[in-house]
Amino acid sequence: MQMIRKKIGEKKHFVLKYALHALLSLVVLFCLVVLFKKLYFDHNPQYWLEMFYGNSLAVHLIYVGSEVFFGLFPPELFIVWSFNVGNLTSYIIDIIFFAAVSLGAGHLAFWIGRLLTKKVGKRIRQKKFVAKHLPTIKKFGGLIILISAMTPLPWATISLIMGIIEYKYRYYTLFAFARILRFAINGFLIYQTGNYFF
């Protein structure tokens, strides 16, 4: 019984720690987007509309590149972009597209991790960062996937690490579907509050 309590306490501590980190990241990101709008976009909207907002294909390609190359830009930036340029139908289509690309990029990173394990797995496991976090990752694999899927933590990087440690693919796939929920929630929240902030 003592052992079970200890395990539950450890899980709670782990989830709370990373959830707080993720929440802080989300708040910082939100503040940066609002600041950008107030300080730059609102002063010269035509310039930004022509350079960035007006080229839908370029924005979608940048998003795909960002997700494939380990989340260079937060998806929320693209959701805000979609909110500002289209109607409700195109907004919903974009949310579905963004979620599908992000989920696909995670799976791609997972299989790259598996491939790396076969080729240079031992060397990767000996790297300082991986070696330091490997025991925790193995212990809380499902929770880590859920937290990174739902928060601004690096989704593709976590997926890559799960592939490297040979986490079971069926469990990865199951937990990874939380990524879709993140886009649905963020899409809804931005749509509901966008007129006040964006």
For residues 53 and 185, the answer to whether their CB atoms sit within 8 Å is no
pLDDT band at 33 (very low <50, low <70, confident <90, very high): low
CA gap 151, 178 in Å, rounded: 10
Report the pLDDT value the prediction gives residue 1, as an integer from 0 to 100: 47
The residue-averaged pLDDT of 57-73 equals 85
Mean pLDDT to the nearest integer, 69-85: 84
**Is 119 in contact with 110 (CB distance < 8 Å)?**
no
For the ranges 47-56, 57-66, 122-131, the maximum mean pLDDT occurs at 57-66
The mean of the pLDDT values for the chain is 78
d(CA 60, CA 37): 20
d(CA 78, CA 95): 9
- Tell if the pTM clears 0.75, that is, is over it: no
Higher pLDDT, 89 or 70: 89
Confidence check: pLDDT of 8 > 60: no
Low-confidence winner among 42-51, 77-86, 90-99, 148-157 (lowest mean pLDDT): 42-51
Give the pLDDT of residue 19: 56
SS3 78: helix
pLDDT at 80: 87
Rounded CA separation 97/81 (Å): 14
Which pLDDT score, from 0 to 100, does residue 10 have? 56
Stronger pLDDT, 58 or 187, i.e. the higher one: 187
Residue 100 has pLDDT above 90, yes or no: yes
Q: How far apart are CA 101 and CA 97, in angstroms?
A: 6
**Residue 92: C-alpha distances to residues 71, 82, 106, 162, 187 (Å):** 21, 9, 21, 30, 8
Burial (0-12, 13-18, 19+ Cβ within 10 Å), 19? middle
pLDDT at site 148: 87
Best CA proximity match to 195, nearest among 83, 73, 94, 58: 83
Q: 144 exposed, middle or buried (CB, 10 Å; 0-12, 13-18, 19+)?
A: buried
Average pLDDT over residues 128-156: 80
Structure tokens at 117: 């394990």
Q: Domain spans of the chain?
A: 2-197
pLDDT (0 to 100) of residue 44? 62
C-beta atoms surrounding 162 within 10 Å = 28
What is the model's pLDDT at position 117?
A: 81
DSSP state of 43: G
The fraction of the chain above a pLDDT of 90, given in percent, is: 26
Mean pLDDT calculated for residue range 133-160: 84
Q: How many residues does the chain have?
A: 198
